[in-house]
Amino acid sequence: MDPALTEVTQLFGRFKAAFLRNDFGTCSSLLAQLKVLLTKFPSLPPSFQKTPNSVQELSIAREIYEHAVVLSVKTEDQDAFERDFFQLKPYYTDTCGVIPPSPQEYPILGLNLLRLLVQNRIAEFHTELELLSATVLENPCIKHAVELEQSFMEGAYNRVLSARQTVPHDTYVYFMDLLAKTVRDEIAGCSEKAYNYLSIADAKKILMFSSDQELNEYITEEHPEWEIKDGSVFFQKAKESQPCKEIPSLQLINQTLSYARELERIV
Amino acid sequence: MAAMVSSASGLLAMLGEQHPALKLHALHQLNSLVHLFWPEISTSVPTIESLYEDEEFDQRQLAALVVSKVFYYLGELNDSLSYALGAGPLFDVSEDSDYAHTLLAKAIDEYASLKSKSVKPSDDEAMVDPRLEAIVERMLDKCILDGKYQQAMGMAVECRRLDKLEEAITSSDNVHAALSYCINLSHSFVNHREYRCEVLRLIVKIYQRLPSPDILSICQCLMFLNEPEAVANILEKLLVSGNKDEALLAYQIAFDLVENEHQAFLLSVRNRLPDPKTLAVNRAAQPAETIDQGTSETSSQNENRNAEPGDVHMSDASIATSSNTHIADPNEVSYAEKLTKLKGILSGETSIKLTLQFLFSHNKSDLLILKTIKQSVEMRNSVCHSATICANALMHAGTTVDTFLRENLEWLSRATNWAKFSATAGLGVIHRGHLQQGRSLMAPYLPQSGAVGGGSPYSEGGALYALGLIHANHGEGIKQFLRDSLRNTSDEVIKHGACLGLGLAALGTADEEIYEDVKNVLYTDSAVASEAAGISMGLLMVGTASEKASEMLAYAHETQHEKIIRGLALGIALTVYGREEEADTLIEQMTRDQDPILRYGGMYALALAYRGTANNKAIHQLLHFAVSDVSDDVRRTAVLALGFVMYSEPEQTPRIVSLLSESYNPHVRYGAALAVGISCAGTGLSEAISLLEPLTSDVVDFVRQGALIAMAMVMIQTNESCDSRVGTFRRQLEKIILDKHEDTMSKMGAILASGILDAGGRNVTIRLLSKTKHDKITAVVGLAVFSQFWYWYPLIYFISLSFSSTAFIGLNYDLKVPKFEFLSNAKPSLFEYPRSTTPPTSTSTVKLPTAVLSTTAKAKSRAKRDAEQKAIADKASEKTSGEKSTEKGTGEDGSTGSSSGKGQKPSEKDADSMQVDGATEKKAGTEQPFEILTNPARVVPAQEKYVRFLDGSRYVPVKLAPSGFVLLRDLQPTEAEVLALTDTPSTTPAAGTGSTTAQQGAAAPALAVDDEPQPPQPFEYTA
């Protein structure tokens, strides 16, 4: 066996052990080393050189990145998640036929969809979805994310929140928690447009806060332009700043004149 | 199995990793995949840019390279270039990819524009990015290493890197070829005049370092640089050496220099050469000799003595006599002899004389065409009448053949007033270059000093103008006479003629005294005389960019006469001829003027200052005026001026003006037609013809006129077998001329077009560039003034200045024309003379099946009378001279037969036999794929590329030029030479009799002067 591959395998073993121990600090440092080592494998994307070890190399690299994705979820690091996921993706899309499909593929794809939903990146969500085949959509992990998105779009926020109980994989929990906040932001945005003001009690109910205290914190953090007075939340301020549009008369006159001049020049 | 990555997102994600090794890895991979995934990468460009800006990242250059490539694919070349510069050595100039090529081009462009900008204000070299410079230098070095010298030279010239240019030239494997390439380059691509001079100076420097310098080219460069001193030194060296071949070379140089028509330069070269008189060889013979034949030029004798062509011929004799008296050193003698010859050439007289001989002996003009025109033109229509006279003059320009005039004296006498002025001036065109006898020829019409009321002022003025045309650009001998005539008259018509004549004769000499005289005329504020004075001042000061221009401008503002303003406007434009950027202030001043006539002059100034440069800025400005000025005159001139700016690249002109030629404004269409006519003159260019064709049937009469004239200019010397449209055009002309209902304007255009089409006995073309790509100042000025005929018909004759004969004239050491044959490797029919029209066709076209109008009947009877007259005249001439009349041959036999003039028998035979050969070949039906031409031969421009010199012939050309004057080296100098072309209106004894007979001829009319407006006299210049 290739010494480099051996080294990676050993290191990966240590990584997995630490991962099981939930020793995330060790995991991260080992992962960094692993990634650097992986760059030396010529068979990995994007070069895909064919070497005798390519199958092992690709498999182990894929596994490493899968672990990296899960690790990032556990450390609740969305950026790392994105990074690792994108690095992992070529192994799923471009290696069919070289190495067998991974059992982890769909859970991780589902996770990614969920992440996009959480970050409210709906366009990308659908782009990802288009890349999947119809059969894959039946996979529970994927289906979960798709259903969530539908509820989310319909505005059936209660269903979104209740879906937390039916997660297909325990890594999903982290994102489901985040999703609650996304939902709240959506609601806040809608209320702002829909109402001039809301009583604190109603606002608390709509925004799903259990106490006034939480509501106050939320407002000061996310929407400092809202105003609380007389037991109500006023959204007015946000609406005020409609700039009154002035007719750019001077510009129009200039343009018309220049057209006239050009017309004269037509030969 | 061959897996392909489908997205770069993984790599882009990797850029966000902490570890630098990963970033580096990602960058490397991206760099190799950027051509596939640039759309994806483009969104992450900021990430990569931040890597480039990260001081700690050790592969910043790689990041820059990736960014540069992405920007390249996005089409943001400026950004791409700036990052490529950041990539430093990673940007590989030798990489064979679109990216590298595009960016290199961009880099070089950028560098070149920076360099040319930094030259202008002050030497702000620091502005140029050293990294940019490094890239360009790398590229240049690479080109030189790879042997792509032309590329390297082009870039070096473009980037103003003379050091690199020198390196490229000297390291190239064929230095001579490289240098000549470079000369071409400097003429066609270097717009900035000063810089071009620098390049040429460098070329001269390199030439001089070579073991066997190409002296011909050096002299051309030096001429451009205006360094007569150096040229004179070279010529002197060549003469002193005593080697015959070197002398031949010197002569050749002199001929080449003369071809460029730079009178002031030639004059100073001539003055710098040692004077043969001082060599004390000719001293004894000289004075007697000059008195001998200097009868007419007594006043200018001294300054002029060496220039007189008589010297060339007499020198042998004079040396023979003088060597008896002063036992001189033979070397000295031969040196002096050579020097005299050289001066003769440099004065231009030798070439003018030879051209005259050629045009005379090869004259092929078709009198029947003229006859048809004459018959179909209504007598009372003076415009068409004088146009016909003008067409005759153009057809016979420089041939000295005035048969048509002599045969139609009565008809000619219908010309009155200004028409008479034109008719008389036309004689000058016919006798153009007849330097020795010009004055005696014109004598009957010239103002007789002292004599009371000689001819009408119109013919006198016309005669002075004619003298100017005869002596155009070679007026040393006639200047004084013209000045005297100008001073001695108070008639404004005569003044008009004298001013034009003086301007022509002293073209570009910047003679202060003449200038003062002409200025006095200007200040008389008489519309007619002062207009001519304005033009004349411009002609005098052509290309001097002198202070006088502001003086003229001031007067143009002062005067009330539009004519004067117009004359001055053109004059001012002429002063900045060829000055390019130097003229910008003046052009700005004129084009911003309130007065449309001055703006109109500004257009001419633009045209002439940037003549033949195809300068983008000038074209831009002209196009702007062509569409935005309020005055039609200015718009027309602006479009017309494009023709002057573009004549070095005739292929481009039709494209540029094609839109304008469809303008709704007829003035713009007219301008477009003439622009094409001017810039494509003599090319027979197919696109030009296609553009002009629809204009010849335009709805507006003057557009048709312009289009017909322009078409004739384009088609000159093209025959039907080259382009079938030539035949169509000839028929169209005939139709227009014969059509009774055609507008006068277009009829006049058609008549003039017939004249231009067959100009100079079908042996000349309009050429604005010499063979060395130098602009021919006389020709350009001639066309510029010609285009003024819109306002003033007599100016039509200026077009004759742009005619240059298309001849190969080989000369031996004695500057005689020996018998010499060479090959034209193409079918003879391609370049032969057009068939002359035959009488039956012309009569049948007159005889239309419609009712015969009384006018046609009259015309017919007139024709019959003319024919009779002609027959009588012919008989008479046959009797008297005992020689066969050429015109009879061509006119009545209608065959392609002999055209050689009256003259000594052997040469006539030579010419005849050649012609007959051609005829028999044609009749045989199977055409030979080549043709043997005999010196001197007509070689039309399109034919030049087929000319081959035969091996094993007795003479070898000094310079392998397919046309023009070529000196021949005699390989068998001991054998006797057979000379061709000795029959001429020549100088030796015949000259004496010639002038006396002319005097007699002059005397006769002087007696019968009251008769009628003077027709041209049937003078005999025996030949």
Per-residue pLDDT of B493-513, as tens digits, reads 999 999 999 999 888 888 889
B1000 CB neighbour count, 10 Å cutoff: 12
Q: Which of B3, B14, B21 sits opposite A98 (nearest CB)?
A: B3
What's the pLDDT at A57?
Answer: 81
Put simply, whether B659 touches A (Cβ < 8 Å) is: yes
Asked whether the beta carbons of residue B16 and residue A47 sit closer than 8 angstroms, the reply is no
- As a whole number of angstroms, the distance between CA B167 and CA B156 comes to 10
Q: At residue A14, does pLDDT exceed 90?
A: no
Asked whether the beta carbons of residue A90 and residue B5 sit closer than 8 angstroms, the reply is yes
**What element of type H or E holds B211?**
none
**A264 chain-B contacts, CB cut-off 8 A:** 628
pLDDT in tens, B647-702: 988 998 999 899 999 999 999 999 999 999 999 998 888 999 999 999 999 999 99
C-alpha separations of B578 from B543, B610, B781 in Å: 6, 6, 11
pLDDT in tens, A216-233: 888 888 887 787 877 788
Put simply, whether B16 touches A (Cβ < 8 Å) is: yes
Task: Report whether B508 contacts B540 (CB < 8 A).
Answer: yes
Q: How far is A226 from chain B (nearest CA, A)?
A: 35
Which amino acid would we find at residue B509? T
**Phi/psi of residue A219, nearest 5 degrees:** -65, -45
What's the pLDDT at B869?
Answer: 61
Mapped onto helix, strand or coil, the DSSP state of residue B469 is: helix
- As a whole number of angstroms, the distance between CA B204 and CA A220 comes to 83
**A86 chain-B contacts, CB cut-off 8 A:** 9-10, 12-13
Put simply, whether B513 touches A (Cβ < 8 Å) is: no
- Portion 667-706 of B in contact with A at CB < 8 A: 668
How many residues appear in chain B?
1023
Q: Which of B8, B13, B627 sits opposite A83 (nearest CB)?
A: B13
Closest CA to B542 of B500, B581, B575: B575
Asked whether the beta carbons of residue B628 and residue A265 sit closer than 8 angstroms, the reply is yes
Looking at residue B592, what DSSP letter applies?
T
pLDDT in tens, A242-267: 566 778 889 999 999 999 888 877 76
C-alpha separations of A135 from A129, A149, A169, A204, B117 in Å: 12, 18, 20, 42, 66
- Cis peptide bond N-terminal to B985, omega within 30: no
Put simply, whether B624 touches A (Cβ < 8 Å) is: no
Distant-in-sequence, close-in-space partners of B574: CB < 8 Å, separation ≥ 6? B535, B538, B539, B541, B542, B543, B604, B608, B781, B784
- As a whole number of angstroms, the distance between CA B896 and CA B871 comes to 20
Q: How far is A112 from chain B (nearest CA, A)?
A: 14
**A97 chain-B contacts, CB cut-off 8 A:** 1, 3
Chain B residue whose CA is closest to A262: B628
Put simply, whether B626 touches A (Cβ < 8 Å) is: yes
**B16 chain-A contacts, CB cut-off 8 A:** 79, 83
Closest CA to B683 of B714, B660, B644: B714
Asked whether the beta carbons of residue A97 and residue B18 sit closer than 8 angstroms, the reply is no
- As a whole number of angstroms, the distance between CA B577 and CA B783 comes to 13
CB pairs under 8 A between A and B: 74
Q: Which of B3, B13, B19 sits opposite A94 (nearest CB)?
A: B3
User: Which residues sit opposite B970 in a β-bridge?
Assistant: B955
- As a whole number of angstroms, the distance between CA B239 and CA A136 comes to 98
**Phi/psi of residue B931, nearest 5 degrees:** -150, 140
Distant-in-sequence, close-in-space partners of B215: CB < 8 Å, separation ≥ 6? B234, B238, B249, B253
B538 CB neighbour count, 10 Å cutoff: 31
Q: How far is A139 from chain B (nearest CA, A)?
A: 24
Q: How far is A83 from chain B (nearest CA, A)?
A: 5
- As a whole number of angstroms, the distance between CA A104 and CA A117 comes to 20
Asked whether the beta carbons of residue B21 and residue A39 sit closer than 8 angstroms, the reply is yes
Interface predicted TM-score (ipTM) over 0.95? no
Spans of chain B below 70 pLDDT: 1-5, 118-128, 276-329, 448-454, 838-927, 981-1023
Residues from A in contact with B at Cβ < 8 Å: 32, 35-36, 39, 45-48, 50, 79, 82-90, 93-95, 97-98, 264-267
Q: How far is A32 from chain B (nearest CA, A)?
A: 7
Task: Report whether B934 contacts B809 (CB < 8 A).
Answer: no
Asked whether the beta carbons of residue A90 and residue B6 sit closer than 8 angstroms, the reply is yes
**B10 chain-A contacts, CB cut-off 8 A:** 45-46, 86-90
Rg of chain B over Cα atoms, rounded to whole angstroms, equals: 32
- As a whole number of angstroms, the distance between CA B580 and CA B606 comes to 8
Q: What is the separation, in whole angstroms, between the first and last Cα of chain B?
A: 95
Chain B residue whose CA is closest to A81: B13
Task: Report whether B903 contacts B361 (CB < 8 A).
Answer: yes
Asked whether the beta carbons of residue B2 and residue A82 sit closer than 8 angstroms, the reply is no
Q: What is the separation, in whole angstroms, between the first and last Cα of chain A?
A: 80
Instruction: Please state the separation of Cα B713 from the chain's center in Å.
Output: 13
Asked whether the beta carbons of residue A46 and residue B29 sit closer than 8 angstroms, the reply is yes
Mapped onto helix, strand or coil, the DSSP state of residue B807 is: strand
- As a whole number of angstroms, the distance between CA B257 and CA B270 comes to 12
- As a whole number of angstroms, the distance between CA B746 and CA B794 comes to 17
C-alpha separations of B634 from A229, B602, B948 in Å: 77, 9, 47
